[in-house]
Amino acid sequence: MPRLHLRPVQFVDSPVGYPDGAVARLAGGMLWFAAYELIEDGARRTLPLADCAALLRDDPRAAELHARITGARAPLTLGNRTLRFEQPLVAGIVNVTPDSFSEGCARHDDPAAAAEAALAMIEAGAALIDLGGESTRPGAPLVWEGEEAKRVVPVIERLRASAAPISIDTRKAMVMEAALAAGAHCVNDVSALLWDDRAIDVVVRAGCPVILMHSPDPKKGPHGEPAYGNVLIDVFDWLDARVAAVVAAGVPRERILVDPGIGFGKSLADNLALLNGLALFHGIGCPIMLGASRKRMIGALGNAAPVDQRLGGSIALAVKGASLGAQLLRVHDVPETVQALAVWRGLQDQALVQP
């Protein structure tokens, strides 16, 4: 049976000057929108919010989606710090692997240097450190869980005294347990807690937040063999169902974030569709993490730029995510992204008060 989907569109600089009901605030954040794109059974049409009263009154699914899209996201307490999602935040990537997608080779066997790099990211404005001990680039070998834990735990122990919020980027239950025991605060799983059968129990017992990322076949690996009908709707529905399953297992929805998995089992066209349609994912009712930093799509669009020359493209994608309401931007280049978002926010703030 076809399901209705709502994508916020027609973003406006400020609600000032619009009649009641003509615009709505997106996820309790800095953005306002004036219409929905209604997507159902492949058909699309745009409906101004001012004309949505009957739809929201008569269609329970539309009402639920609207409530999720406009509802404020609950803050997350991570150790001594609280993440609030009224504006986009930055998560800094620290990889302690010898074969990382883009960096980390110089630090994979030096926990002190990795911790220093993480603290520099916090000082530069990162709200969260996303620490990983296994590369998830295409073709990367599987790392034994004991080795992966050995890589990340000493870094977490060094960061613990700083009270830096840490998410552990892993799909292995044993690594989650070791990292959380060492002082990590959150789990970021590219398999959405599906690769390791014990993973969901670990998260439930720990009572920690979790980031659920989409990939086509998490049991086989993060890249899989994609077979999408409509990639935007398929990924939304998959994540929506996965969030429901994790909530049913005992994790409160307020402690779940979602990630559409840019670059994981997606073509360039798929990635572009997901980025352009990112506002749809607010209908899940959870904060959105966007991880597009230094991804291959930047090289594909930007004159075959190698990984270390993708800063401009990474900034462009981060600002695109912020402009569609992504609450957490996972990046390698923290100072540059923080600066770009500060300028973006300055523009937004001025638009709100402009006469």
Which range has the worst mean pLDDT, 82-86, 108-112, 308-312?
A: 108-112
Separation of alpha carbons 106 and 124, rounded Å: 21
Q: What is the pLDDT of residue 2?
A: 67
Residue span(s) of the chain under CATH 3.20.20.20 come to: 76-353
Does residue 58 register a pLDDT over 60?
yes
Whole-number pLDDT of residue 352: 80
Rounded to two decimals, what is the model's pTM?
0.96
DSSP 8-state code for residue 32? E
Largest Cα–Cα separation, the chain: 60
CA dist., res. 187 & res. 190, Å (int):
10
Picking from 79, 7, 30, the residue whose alpha carbon sits closest to that of residue 277 is 7
pLDDT (0 to 100) of residue 104: 40
**Sign of torsion over alpha carbons 152, 182, 73, 128:** negative
Q: Give catalytic status of residue 150 as yes or no.
A: no
Active site residue 295: yes
Q: Which of 73, 172, 294, 330 is catalytic?
A: 330
**Residue range 147-156: mean pLDDT, rounded:** 96
Interaxial angle between packed helices 268-276 and 231-249, expressed in degrees from 0 to 180 and rounded to the nearest 10 = 70
pLDDT value for 103: 47
Per-residue pLDDT at 136 exceeds 50: yes
To the nearest whole number, what is the mean pLDDT of the chain?
A: 94
Q: Is pLDDT of 99 > 80? A: no
Residue 140: the pLDDT is 81
pLDDT tier, 105 (very low <50, low <70, confident <90, very high otherwise): very low
CB-side neighbour CA atoms (13 Å) of 235: 28
Query: If you average pLDDT over residues 20-28, what whole number do you get?
Result: 96
Question: Within a 10 A sphere around the Cβ of 350, how many other Cβ atoms?
Answer: 11
Span 104-124, mean pLDDT?
83
Q: Which pLDDT value is given to residue 244?
A: 98
Query: What values do phi and psi take at 77, rounded to 5?
Result: -95, 120
**Running DSSP on this structure, what letter comes out for residue 282?**
G
The least confident of 13-22, 50-59, 178-187, 316-325 is 13-22
Given a cut of 60, is residue 10 above it in pLDDT?
yes
Which of 26-35, 132-141, 194-203 shows the lowest mean pLDDT across its residues? 132-141
Q: Which residue matches tokens 């919010």?
A: 49
Residues 6+ apart with CB under 8 A from 117: 94, 107
> Which of 213-227, 318-332, 337-351 is the least confident region?
213-227
Percentage of residues of the chain with pLDDT beyond 90? 85
Q: Would you state the pLDDT for residue 135?
A: 86
pLDDT of residue 106: 43
Q: State the catalytic residue, choosing from 158, 295, 310, 345.
A: 295
Q: Which numeric CATH code is attached to 76-353?
A: 3.20.20.20
What does the pLDDT read at residue 227?
A: 84
